[in-house]
Amino acid sequence: MSDLLEVRNLKKYFPIKGGFFRHTVGHLKAVDDVSFSIPKGHTFGLVGESGCGKSTLGRAILRLHEPTGGEIHLDGTDISRLNSRELVAHRREMQIIFQDPYASLSPRRTVMQTLLEPMEIHGIGNPASRKEKVLELLDIVGMRPNVLHRYPHEFSGGQRQRIGIARALTLDPKFIVADEAVSALDVSVQSQVLNLIARLQRELGISFLFISHDLAVVQHISHEIGVMYLGKLVEVASSTDLYRKPLHPYTKALLSAIPVPDPDSKTRRTILQGDVPSPLNPPSGCPFRTRCPEAMDICARSMPALKTVGEGNNGLPHQVACHLY
């Protein structure tokens, strides 16, 4: 199975301004040396706490943020080296679905305008064929054609999210970043949208980077899952492995913290102490050591590298960055 997307040592640092002349006095390492790959037709789930750099990673891959360093290979092309004109051409191949169903659609544009725009920009087809494509997309996301001339505010959150998905599909991308695409939805609608995404992926063979803070959601939809903590990937494994045999103490804590909708569930909960450290001055060594129940001396001194510790049931390697292993 070939990898559609390969991310190598991706970094995204935001400059911190300060001092008398408001020059850059330091960097906020939102994404720090992250590598992973996604095979064609696979979904890679990304979980982690708020502010750990998930969105930044997703956006850096699409070059909506300019990466500070690293390589991004999409279907053989190094996205990170394209100039702006080439980039526009490659935007067809990668798209994004956003979290906020209210903020992600242009409020003063009709569904029709929103869906036609990407094709117009890229000069795909003629007006008639574009229209046809729009209708086809609406059908795929399960909406009737009579919505075409309505404005976003006339739809419910779930419906908007579908329009957002349809927009991402207009250019027939190979790769889509879904950044918390279902987090803002009510549970009953959330599952509808999750089903839709899963179906699209199966039918169209698109690769997804599925970002969420909800492990349960990610586990359901992903083939492989990466756990992020303070800008770094701390564990990568196939979704079944990660749930069955979490290795990193953070992953364990994360899993046990998920409230299970079953009053009889008897899982032992690991309650983490303390708060997420500020990414502005991360702790030395392993970033998790300040909250880690199993921290050792070495953790303060060196940052453990992400290393493969075994192979899961479906041939995917299980990687973890922890001194315990």
Partner 1 sequence: MTQPLLSVKDLVIEFSTQRGIVRAIDGVSFDIMPGETLGLVGESGCGKSVTSLAILGLIPSPPGRIISGSIRLDGRELVGLPESEYRHIRGKEISMIFQEPMTALNPVFTIATQMTDVIMRHQGMTRKQARERAIEMLSLVGIPSPGKRIDEYPHQMSGGMRQRVMIAMALSCNPKLLLADEPTTALDVTTQAQVLEQMVKLQDEFDTSVVLVTHDLGVVAQTCSRAVVMYAGRVAEQAPIHPLFNHPQHPYTEGLLKSIPRIREQKLDELPTIPGTVPDLLHLPSGCRFVDRCYRADDACHQREPDLQWHNDQAVACFHPVGEAS
Partner 2 sequence: MNTLTDDIPGKKESESLWGKAWYKFRRDRIGMVSLGVVIFFMIIALGVWAGLWGQNWSGIEGPMWAPPSAEHWAGTNIIGQDIFERAIYSTKTAFEVGMVVAILSTILGGLLGALAGYFTNTWVDELILWLMGVLDSIPFYLFVAAIAYSLQGYAYSMHVAMIATFWTTTARLVRGEVIKLKNFEFVEAARAIGLPQRLIIFRHITPNTFHILLVQATIVFVGAIKSEVILSFLGLGVVDGVSWGLMIAESTQEVQAGHYSNFITASVFLFILVMAFNMFSDSLQDALDPKKVSA
Partner 3 sequence: MEMLQYALRKFITGIPLIIGVTLISFLLMVYFGPDKTYELVGKNPTPEQIQEVRHQLGYDQPFVTRYLEYLKELVTFDFGYSDSTGERVNSILARTVPISLALIIPGFVLGNLLGIALALIAAYHRGRWWDKFIMGGSVVGMSVSFLIVIIAFQVIFSSNDGLGWFPVRGWNVYDFWDYLRYVTVPTLATVFVALGYNTRFYRAVIVEEMGRDHVRTAKAFGTPPGELLFKHILKNAMIPIITRIMFSIPLVVISGSLLLESYFGIPGVGLVTYDAITTGDQPILKAVVGITAVLFVVVLILNDIFYKLVDPRVSLK
Ligand X SMILES: Nc1ncnc2c1ncn2[C@@H]1O[C@H](COP(=O)(O)OP(=O)(O)OP(=O)(O)O)[C@@H](O)[C@H]1O
Question: Taking CB under 8 A as the criterion, which residues in 80-99 touch partner 2?
Answer: 87-89, 91-92, 94-96, 98-99
Axis-axis angle for helices 111-121, 127-140 (nearest 10): 120
The strand pairing partners of 224, in sequence order, are 44, 238
The one-letter amino acid code at 54 reads K
Which of partner 2, ligand X, Mg ion, none does residue 164 bind (CB under 5 to 8 Å by kind)? partner 2
Question: Taking CB under 8 A as the criterion, which residues in 118-137 touch partner 2?
Answer: 118, 121-122
Question: Which range binds ligand X by CB under 6 A, 44-52, 100-108, 292-300, 312-320?
Answer: 44-52
DSSP label at 32? E
212 contributes a contact to Mg ion by CB under 5 A: no
Report how far apart, in Å, the C-alpha atoms of 147 and of each of 67, 102, 143 are.
Answer: 38, 17, 7
Question: Which range binds ligand X by CB under 6 A, 33-41, 50-58, 144-152, 240-248?
Answer: 50-58
For 231, residues 6+ apart whose C-beta sits below 8 A from its C-beta are 29, 30, 31, 32, 34, 52, 53, 279, 282, 287
Residue 278 C-beta: closest distance to partner 1, Å:
9
Pairing of strands 317-320, 307-311: antiparallel
Contact residue for partner 3 among 6, 8, 12, 21 (CB under 8 A): 21
The strand pairing partners of 26, in sequence order, are 16
Question: Taking CB under 6 A as the criterion, which residues in 213-232 touch ligand X?
Answer: 213
Nearer to partner 3, 146 or 281 (CB): 281
54 contributes a contact to ligand X by CB under 6 A: yes
Residue 150 C-beta: closest distance to partner 2, Å:
7
How many chain residues touch partner 3 (CB under 8 A)? 3
Tell me the CA end-to-end span of the chain in Å, nearest whole number. Answer: 28
238 contributes a contact to partner 2 by CB under 8 A: no
Contact residue for ligand X among 4, 7, 30, 79 (CB under 6 A): 30
Query: What are 100's two structure tokens?
Result: 């906020």
Pairing of strands 207-211, 175-179: parallel
Contact residue for Mg ion among 43, 55, 207, 222 (CB under 5 A): 55
Which of partner 2, partner 3, ligand X, none does residue 260 bind (CB under 5 to 8 Å by kind)? none
Question: Which range binds partner 1 by CB under 8 A, 74-82, 108-116, 165-173, 191-199?
Answer: 191-199
Helix or strand or coil: residue 176?
Answer: strand
For 302, residues 6+ apart whose C-beta sits below 8 A from its C-beta are 285, 286, 323
Nearer to partner 2, 94 or 306 (CB): 94
Q: What string of DSSP letters covers 120-145?
A: HHTT-S-HHHHHHHHHHHHHHTT--G
Residue 276 C-beta: closest distance to partner 1, Å:
7
Contact residue for partner 3 among 20, 146, 264, 313 (CB under 8 A): 20
189 contributes a contact to partner 1 by CB under 8 A: yes
Question: Taking CB under 8 A as the criterion, which residues in 25-64 touch partner 1?
Answer: 49-50
54 contributes a contact to partner 2 by CB under 8 A: no
Alpha helices in the chain (DSSP H): 54-61, 84-90, 111-121, 127-140, 157-169, 187-204, 215-221, 239-244, 249-257, 297-301
- Given the rule CB under 8 A, which residues bind partner 2? 59, 62, 64, 87-89, 91-92, 94-96, 98-100, 103-109, 117-118, 121-122, 141-144, 146-147, 149-151, 153-156, 159, 162, 164, 167, 170-171, 192, 196
